[in-house]
Structure 1
Amino acid sequence: MSSSKLSSSSYSSVYRSTPTSDNSTRLSAYGSRKYCRRTSSRASERSKSSFSSLPTRRPKTSASACVGGRDNHSFVVAMIEGRGVATEVGMCFIDLRTSECILSQIADSQTYVKTLHKLNLYNPVEIILSVTAIEPSKSKLCKILEDNMPMASIIPIGRKYFNDAIEEDSASLILGITSKFYCLAATGAILKYIESTQNIFFTNHSIKFKYQGCEGTMMIDCVTARNLELISNINNPRSNHSLYGVLNNTRTPMGARLLRTNTLQPLSDVTTINMRLDAVEELIRHEETFFAIQTALKPFQDIDHLITALIQVPKKPSVKHAEQSINNVIILKHTLKLINLLKESFTGVQNSLLDAIYSLLNDLRLEALEERINDVINEDITYVKSPLALRNQRCYAVRAGFNGLLDVARQTYKETVDDLNEMIDQYREQYQIPIKTQFSSTAGFYLSINIEQLEDKQLPLIFINVKKKRKTLTFTTLEVMKKNTKISDSLTEVYLMSDKTIEDLISEIRNDISVLYKASESIAMLDMLTSFAHQCTVSNYVRPEFTDTLAIKAGRNPMRESLYVDTFVPNDTYASSATNFQLITGPNMSGKSTYLRQIALMSIMSQIGSYVPAEYASFRIVDQLFTRICNDDNIESNASTFVVEMRETAYILQNVTDDSLVIIDELGRGTSTHDGLGITYAICEELLKTKAFIFFATHFHELTRSLTVYPNVVNLHLEVEIEEEDSRVAMKYLYRVKDGRNDEEHYGLKFGQIIGLPENVIRKATELKELIDSNKEKSTSNKIIQRRKTLLQLTQHLLQIRRSSNLDKEELRKYLKMVQEEFITKMEALF
């Protein structure tokens, strides 16, 4: 193993691949495109295999589509699996747009749940595997990747490229992960792959490496992320109607990326979460600071993309690269000025996290970097968006004196532009038409005129390439085209003469590239916190607390509330170790799904450091979030509704822990009634063996009676008012969650009357329902069960008072007296 190592918190880089001219550096024949597999080529193969062949994996269903778009990231990942008995997977992700390199080595289970979670977080476009994992037969990991990452290309390369012999330049960066052989091997493979396919190499000490495990975060699989619409809307992926869309009030691309990552991977460390909440509270209290920071963040360009452009060097120099290099230096000069303005907005900040961000920005060696840029670049050069103005800025960017011929080329450029303007003035006078001068980055200068201004005149024949765009004519002349060519040639000379000076400057900047990485991360975190504060100011959100119980007063669904102008009906939620399994019943469209999603979304919001839509909210830290919501058939994998349900439920049962949150919306309805009821009851019993918080919506009302033998089961229902007048029936949905069950209301029969089923059908259905009800045996032990539940709830209540009560002796005595009276009242009602 090489002595090269990588620091888990390092910002400097790392790797330098050397350009060569022969084919010895190509990956191998296995890297060719004919081995790339996309969704269409795998669908038929997956449909032939039975779903039971991999019973422990998260199933490929319609809910397993990749979450979110690819406009913010272009991640490529290399993966390699250990050969021992224990499943250990090494991964290395590289974002081609930001040159961020993330390493991870995970000791996973046979379900590869942690591996899939990490892949879903970064949503790679290409997955690089060793050819031995694909040929002669596919490994289990490869099959699971094909099923669960359908939008990614799986690319095999030679096994010899997966080694940890990273160049000696990175020796100072490996501290902390000397034993992480697999992630280092994946790093070597992906860097060689990028060098070969992208035809670029990275300069020394330029890539930002990070090592990330799965510790300290909430696990959310791709099915759950899609079901809850965390990143994209199920019905319309282009819309912003998702949790990310609701919370995204960021002003910078870096902040938006950080928010997306946190939404898919919330924190589970209470101390870190509370630091973020403290910062959000500080911003809310000090409006002047909040608005000043928000205003200062708005003009920032994408610093991560800028860093990528600075550290990547093409193997063949070109005029286009020289032109872009000048652009990059101008944008960097503009960014450094914006950072100074941002630091000035931190007035009166007392929060520790905000103060740490300010101190980091203040301690960076930005002044020295800015001085070096000003030594080369004219001080009055600024970043502008207009193509013509930006071209002028590039032309005059480098100070005079670095190259004598440079001034000659600039003078040629200036004189040619002046000649062009004089020629166009002559056209106006000669032909007596109000010609306008236009410019585009591709066509250069051209002419235009409004059609109405021509009146009945015809354009003179000297004007060629006439095109009509609505009410405007665009055209040019041979002389204008010649001038454009001469201008382009003079600019090429300027760029080439400036290139050596600019490249020397960029080489110096690369030595301090870690400064830009730290600045980017600090700005991203500040932007995300400001976004949370903004959302709290426009909505009535409250700061969450973290205890052993889930207690929400007047909670609201953040997505529904943002979509509809009508007042959202809030609901209370309470779950503890004594009431951790909650059955929710109610008719269709009564709000069960909205209520379940609301609990999950608020838990995620609280653990990323955001305020939540409620009057009061207390959460227990969740380590894994599971959902079973969709009931769609999966045609692609030839799976029916019931098959999909069983796959996803098996995944939940095999991975649920005592600190998990489980949301199940309907189960067992895809098969016969008796089989569905039996399987659902057995699944409920299995879940009851854990201490996880489980919210289970169902239409099997038998469960509300049979599961009451367990003292920690709570029955809830969504309230509906039924109005009957003569033969007319009307149902009014109140969307309020109430205690108890509502299985005596026969909502299905009432709804059948509303939609107009024939009376004889309704009458016959009612008779059969009454016959079935009369044959059911009434349980004689119901009161005993209810008494046991009441005693358990009292015990839990007293334990909570003991752990967290801050009342003085007199107030505590009064409170305990009230609890005693409520307990006696409940017990008397059960005798």
Structure 2
Amino acid sequence: MKNNLYNTTPIITQYLKIKNKYKNILLLYRMGDFYEFLFEDAHKASALLNIQLTSKGKYNNKPIPMAGIPYHRINTYLKRIITNGISVAICEQIQNNKKTNTKLIERKVIRVITPGTIYEENLLDENKDNLILSIIYKNTIWGISWLEFTTGDFGVLEVNNTHNLILELERLNPVELLIPSSTKHLPTLPIKKSIIKYINDDFFNYNNAYNILYNKLNIKNIDTKLHNGISAAGAIIQYINNNKIYNLSHINHLIFEKNKYKLNIDLTTKKHLELDINVNGKQENTLFSVLNTTMTNMGSRLLKKWINNPITNYKLIELRQNAIHIIINNDLIYILQNNIKKIGDIERIITRIALKKAKPLDLIKLKNALKVFPKIKNILNRILKKNQHIKSILNNIYLYIKIYPNIDLLLHDALIDNPPNTIRDGYVIKSHFNLKLDTLREIYNNSEKYIKKFENKEKIRTGISKLKINFNKLNGFFIELPKKHTYKIPKEYIKNKTLKHSERFYSKELKSFENLLIESKENSIEYEKKIYKKIINILINNINCLLKTSKAIAALDVITTLSERALALNFCKPIINKNKIGIKIIEGRHPIIESVNKHQFIPNNLYLNHNHNINIITGPNMGGKSTYIRQNAIIVLLTYIGSYVPAKYAEIGPIDKIFTRIGSYDDLSAGKSTFMIEMHETANILNNATFKSLVLMDEIGRGTNPTEGLSIAWACLEKLIQIKALTLFSTHYFSLTQIDKKFKQIKNIHFNALINHNKITFMYNINQGATNNSYSLTVASLAHIPHFIINKSTQILTILKKHKTNHTKIYKLINFIKTFKIKKLTIYLKFFKTLINKIKHIT
């Protein structure tokens, strides 16, 4: 074959031209029954997907690397690619009806799949939002926009510094981040570099963004004051369109987030409190896992969003609490959950309908959900009339749940109950729904009768009783005869294949029927597709109302779940006192520990206010200090999502932020030691906490020598006193507890333990005052440290305590001498003899 301008074959030339348009993403190039990765993509895919790397042909006299996957397993491999934050372009073979001189099959990219623009059910995490986010920095303002493509939630906000940008990125946790390609200096962001995409600066043009949002998406609630935010929003839509996705009818409203209604919690705090990921990086034994008894995946996602995004909108918090009160008091949990679980994840189904990518089974699930809406609406109507004196979020939920009798009837009449996976398979639409479709199907449906009739006719005509008409995908219909009867074969039979004991033939009549059968099937499926598209378009006309209904159902699922949890776990309704700084918790509990603890959890109280805003907590290792400080933060957080809380009584004042500095770990890849991370987290608290903040600090200063560590801890406490932040400060530095003599805002509390026959019993209850008993050696023995180590440690500890006592005596002596005055010699004469004796006895 003559080489072309690329000095290679036409198929590689075609590949290179297509790949040139998609340089920075993987290209899945369809070749027969395989999708192939070529050149550098082959090396990347081989390593990423653990598939064999081969080579075929040459380019510039070098073998062309190649790695392939079967076309029918593409979804399995796509999930692994997308999970790693990598985008991929799907290049398909296109049937070309035009006659050309070349045998080269036409190919083109039909879709670009990126982590933030997937909508396929099998590629998504059903319990997690899948956000794509864009940012732009201009005139000292960061514009931020985010889109949950699978639900249509579309948000815009602006922040004025890098710290707040990082907080928003931690809160939103995107799977894909878009940034203008001209961005030169990007701050260190709390996300993987693999998900950052540098895109055309023109995508961020404000005028283009406004035009797309207002005119193309018909979004009318645009706040033009948020110039950078709108630019970022427009960039997302243009990026999606550029990836060959154009049907965006489900995106029709902007959410403008107000910072004044957010209770800020950073990623560190979320990790320490184990909101949805535990300390081992797993999803079990977290606050989310304890609370999540939702009936739908969309409810599960919304619950996780509420947990990670507490609010300070007191009115909305009260509406949520009132809804829980109504559901519990009217015994509605079971009946609501029993109906909600029949609805499923219609939020993402409706999005696939809007994108015109819904499968027949999606429509069946929607049909089943539509039948439940009237039942839920009737339940809410009845209960709201009974409790009309109480305003709650149930009022809004009731308004947004609509009933769709016409759509329900259409789907019931049009679709069979158990349809095939895709419309391409046919027989999705019921018989008798469309007369023309029934007519087109008739030939295909009667094919079996025709074949049987043709077979009997040929048996009689040829006199061969063992003549059979068979079918396979390779040859179509054929006539099969035993070899011993070949002398009876009519002249019009055309030989197809010879087997060991039989011969295969076909006739013009049989092939004519086969062609008619194929044509009738193709025509019926094509017409069925047209009917299916009409049904989809009817649904799209109702997409806005359907989306609002789905979100209302998701909210009802979460509220019902919080009601069930409150009742099952003995939670109480907290009081928010927005005019009084402080926290009062009686018999508070840690919901995660309580859920896994085989023994009864011992509750504890907490009292903090403006005049007494810091508790220093001492006590033994494993005595309950860390559990105590975490449980109080969780109780505050639950209060600010509108939930009931694990306590007998809780009264919480205004809180704007929750900070934690708990545990020890390093980040060697970033060159950060345990102590450096501790100091970074401490600096973040001291620089950003306010008098409305809740601060949890666990053993500050332990990453360095005791003297310096104590000094740092003491200085931090004095700074927190200045800030007036509500603080729980646990420590093993007993000297630190003396600070309460200097500052009245500080109180000492401690956990205790009992030692009996060298066995330790933790009491787990809070006591007033400080303790110097850490029981470290006893705890070490519980961890099965060898006995000779424990014994040696005990000996060393005795020696060190003796030296410490001597050092204390010397310090007192030196201090006494420094303050000694000649004029008062007679007064101090008696003490002088005592000093001499002290010096003699110092060893």
In terms of Rg, which structure is larger? 2
Cα contact 1:373–1:505 (8 A) shared by 2: no
- 1:10-49 residue CA offsets vs partner (Å, 9 max, x unmatched): xxxxxxxxxxxxx99999889657999x9xx9xxxxxxxx
The offset of 1:269, in angstroms, is 2.0
Taking a change above 3 Å as real, the CA distance of residues 125 and 767 of structure 1, as seen in their structure-2 partners, is same
- Hey, what does 2:354 align to over in structure 1? 311
1:277 lines up with 2:306 in the alignment = no
Letter matched to residue 765 of structure 1: L
TM-score by length of 2: 0.68
Count residues with an aligned counterpart: 630
Taking a change above 3 Å as real, the CA distance of residues 735 and 300 of structure 1, as seen in their structure-2 partners, is same
The offset of 1:651, in angstroms, is 1.1
Secondary structure of the residue aligned to 2:622 is coil
- Hey, what does 1:763 align to over in structure 2? 795
Letter matched to residue 700 of structure 2: L
Deviates more, 1:261-270 or 1:700-709: 700-709
Cα contact 2:696–2:728 (8 A) shared by 1: yes
Secondary structure of the residue aligned to 1:352 is coil
Taking a change above 3 Å as real, the CA distance of residues 236 and 153 of structure 1, as seen in their structure-2 partners, is closer
1:651-730 superposed matches below 5 A: 651-723=684-756, 729-730=758-759
Q: Distance in 2 between matches of 1:75 and 1:246?
A: 25
Q: Distance in 2 between matches of 1:649 and 1:485?
A: 78
The offset of 1:200, in angstroms, is 1.4
Letter matched to residue 379 of structure 1: D
Q: Distance in 1 between matches of 2:601 and 2:250?
A: 53
Q: Distance in 2 between matches of 1:687 and 1:271?
A: 30
Taking a change above 3 Å as real, the CA distance of residues 77 and 419 of structure 1, as seen in their structure-2 partners, is farther
Taking a change above 3 Å as real, the CA distance of residues 751 and 560 of structure 1, as seen in their structure-2 partners, is closer
262, 277, 301: which one pairs with 1:232?
277
Letter matched to residue 710 of structure 1: F
The offset of 1:373, in angstroms, is 5.9
Secondary structure of the residue aligned to 2:723 is coil
- Hey, what does 1:241 align to over in structure 2? 285
- Hey, what does 2:591 align to over in structure 1? 558
Cα contact 1:30–1:158 (8 A) shared by 2: no
179, 199, 203: which one pairs with 2:225?
179
Taking a change above 3 Å as real, the CA distance of residues 173 and 593 of structure 1, as seen in their structure-2 partners, is same
The offset of 1:301, in angstroms, is 2.2
- Hey, what does 2:399 align to over in structure 1? 360
The offset of 1:339, in angstroms, is 1.1
Taking a change above 3 Å as real, the CA distance of residues 774 and 269 of structure 1, as seen in their structure-2 partners, is farther
Q: Distance in 1 between matches of 2:18 and 2:248?
A: 18
761, 766, 789: which one pairs with 1:737?
766
Taking a change above 3 Å as real, the CA distance of residues 120 and 224 of structure 1, as seen in their structure-2 partners, is same
Secondary structure of the residue aligned to 1:681 is helix
Letter matched to residue 126 of structure 1: E
Q: Distance in 1 between matches of 2:729 and 2:529?
A: 65
Taking a change above 3 Å as real, the CA distance of residues 389 and 32 of structure 1, as seen in their structure-2 partners, is closer
1:313-712 superposed matches below 5 A: 313=356, 324=358, 326-346=360-380, 347-349=382-384, 350=387, 351-353=390-392, 355-357=394-396, 359-361=398-400, 364=402, 366-367=403-404, 370-371=405-406, 374=409, 376-379=410-413, 381=415, 384=418, 395=427, 397=429, 400=432, 402=434, 404=436, 406-412=437-443, 414-415=445-446, 493-547=523-577, 548=580, 549-712=582-745
Taking a change above 3 Å as real, the CA distance of residues 272 and 372 of structure 1, as seen in their structure-2 partners, is closer
- 1:639-681 residue CA offsets vs partner (Å, 9 max, x unmatched): 1110110111111111111111111111111111111111121
Cα contact 1:378–1:398 (8 A) shared by 2: no
77, 80, 98: which one pairs with 2:151?
98
Q: Distance in 1 between matches of 2:515 and 2:618?
A: 75
Taking a change above 3 Å as real, the CA distance of residues 194 and 486 of structure 1, as seen in their structure-2 partners, is farther
Cα contact 1:326–1:394 (8 A) shared by 2: no
- Hey, what does 1:124 align to over in structure 2? 174
- Hey, what does 2:136 align to over in structure 1? 80
The offset of 1:520, in angstroms, is 1.4
Cα contact 2:250–2:351 (8 A) shared by 1: no
1:279-294 superposed matches below 5 A: 279-287=323-331, 289-294=332-337
1:143 lines up with 2:187 in the alignment = yes
1:156 lines up with 2:198 in the alignment = yes
Q: Cα RMSD over matched residues?
A: 3.8
| Higher relative contact order, chain-length normalized (CA < 8 Å, sep 6+) | 1
- Hey, what does 1:220 align to over in structure 2? 265
Secondary structure of the residue aligned to 2:316 is helix
Cα contact 2:310–2:640 (8 A) shared by 1: yes
1:298 lines up with 2:326 in the alignment = no
TM-score by length of 1: 0.69
The offset of 1:400, in angstroms, is 4.0
Q: Distance in 2 between matches of 1:218 and 1:759?
A: 50
The offset of 1:493, in angstroms, is 4.4
Secondary structure of the residue aligned to 1:201 is coil
Q: Distance in 2 between matches of 1:703 and 1:94?
A: 49
Q: Distance in 1 between matches of 2:383 and 2:334?
A: 13
Letter matched to residue 196 of structure 2: I
The offset of 1:277, in angstroms, is 0.9
- 1:139-161 residue CA offsets vs partner (Å, 9 max, x unmatched): 2xx2322xx11275111112121
Letter matched to residue 235 of structure 2: A
Gaps of 5+ in 1: 1-22, 42-67, 314-320, 423-481, 780-831
Letter matched to residue 438 of structure 2: D
Cα contact 1:27–1:196 (8 A) shared by 2: no
Letter matched to residue 377 of structure 2: K
Q: Distance in 1 between matches of 2:564 and 2:443?
A: 52
Cα contact 2:312–2:640 (8 A) shared by 1: yes
The offset of 1:390, in angstroms, is 9.5
Q: Distance in 2 between matches of 1:71 and 1:230?
A: 14
1:255 lines up with 2:299 in the alignment = yes
Taking a change above 3 Å as real, the CA distance of residues 668 and 219 of structure 1, as seen in their structure-2 partners, is same
Taking a change above 3 Å as real, the CA distance of residues 392 and 33 of structure 1, as seen in their structure-2 partners, is closer
Taking a change above 3 Å as real, the CA distance of residues 172 and 153 of structure 1, as seen in their structure-2 partners, is closer
Letter matched to residue 564 of structure 2: H
- 1:402-426 residue CA offsets vs partner (Å, 9 max, x unmatched): 461x11344456556999999xxxx
Q: Distance in 1 between matches of 2:425 and 2:335?
A: 29
Gaps of 5+ in 2: 1-15, 28-39, 48-123, 454-510, 813-843
Letter matched to residue 234 of structure 2: G
Taking a change above 3 Å as real, the CA distance of residues 750 and 336 of structure 1, as seen in their structure-2 partners, is closer
Taking a change above 3 Å as real, the CA distance of residues 371 and 600 of structure 1, as seen in their structure-2 partners, is same
Taking a change above 3 Å as real, the CA distance of residues 488 and 261 of structure 1, as seen in their structure-2 partners, is farther
Cα contact 2:566–2:644 (8 A) shared by 1: yes
Q: Distance in 2 between matches of 1:171 and 1:773?
A: 78
- Hey, what does 1:65 align to over in structure 2? none
- 1:329-352 residue CA offsets vs partner (Å, 9 max, x unmatched): 443333222212221332333243
Letter matched to residue 305 of structure 1: R
Q: Distance in 1 between matches of 2:445 and 2:627?
A: 65
Q: Distance in 1 between matches of 2:779 and 2:661?
A: 26
- 1:577-609 residue CA offsets vs partner (Å, 9 max, x unmatched): 122111111121111111111111111111111
- Hey, what does 2:833 align to over in structure 1? none
Taking a change above 3 Å as real, the CA distance of residues 69 and 563 of structure 1, as seen in their structure-2 partners, is farther
- 1:354-399 residue CA offsets vs partner (Å, 9 max, x unmatched): 551454146x4x43xx31563x545384655xx6699899725367
